[in-house]
Amino acid sequence: MTIYNIPVTCIADTRDKLGEGCLWDAMGGFLWWLDIIVPSRIHRLHVETGALRTWHFNEMIGAMAKRRDGTLLVGAHRGLNIFDPTTGAMTHWTTLEPHRPFNRGNDGACDAKGRFWFGTMMNNVGESGADLPITDATGALFRIDAHGAATEVASGIGVSNGPCWSPDNRIFYFSDSRAQAIWAYDFDLEAGALSNRRILNDSKDYGYPDGATIDADGCIWSARWEGSCVLRIDPKGRIDRVVPIPAKRPTNVCFGGARLDTLYVTSARLHVPEEELARNPLQGGVFCFNPHVRGFEKPGFAG
């Protein structure tokens, strides 16, 4: 394991309460990400020019995926929405978990077939962003097909996070932040089926595993909530690199840039102690660094 004290740059000081959901759009040269806490926000940054646009909404949102028509699939508090950046309209598409009214949506990503994998959790955000206790593992993981049909593929999850796939699509990785564990599953791409769940990494030394992505070598980059760092974890679960981030709560990561050789990191500043904000005032912004490895653009949604 190596501590990589490499240059980390804040490219957008958006002061997000709970930044998340970052993805790269190579077609437009945009970095997209969101701020979960209501009034929630979707941000779009043109990386080359620095032009930033932000849209505001009255529902918590947690994850996004591109669609072929230029709109975005948005995982939200109660289900899935469609966001049209040309009009700014957010339209409800399908509801998840009406039988679990105390849950909310959290992280999600598309597989190579364009199915959206979206996890839920017990809602931990109250009025004006107040913390609510997570008292049970009521979360689930859903697979949503192009027509909106949702299949529950896993349950008993505390805080759903970090869905991503090995480069050959044979392994699916998924985190339960509450359990401080990253799991690996055997993955059948054609069927969209999971099997043989096992612990990949359950280190307690670097905070909690949050959002994640895969690099070209098959290693996982894991944002570490409360850990002030991003970890690179190899396919055997060993911590390979630790990259310190000037934010106590890194939340998600994605590869981007023209060569997919920049790692972008979202972060949160909600409830971060004042003394910590004084040390690292850019918390809640988006950071980036050169990971010395290339990654992948996240697949879009098939619908």
Beta carbons within 8 Å of 130's beta carbon, 6+ residues apart = none
Active-site positions read 210
- CB distance 251 to 244 below 8 Å: no
Ramachandran area for residue 180 (φ above 0: left; ψ -120 to 50: alpha; else beta): left
Q: What 3-state DSSP class applies to 277?
A: helix
Decide the pairing of beta strands 160-165 and 171-176: antiparallel
Residue type, 86: T
Give the C-alpha separation, 3 to 241, whole Å.
6
Maximum Cα interatomic distance, the chain, rounded to a whole number of Å: 50
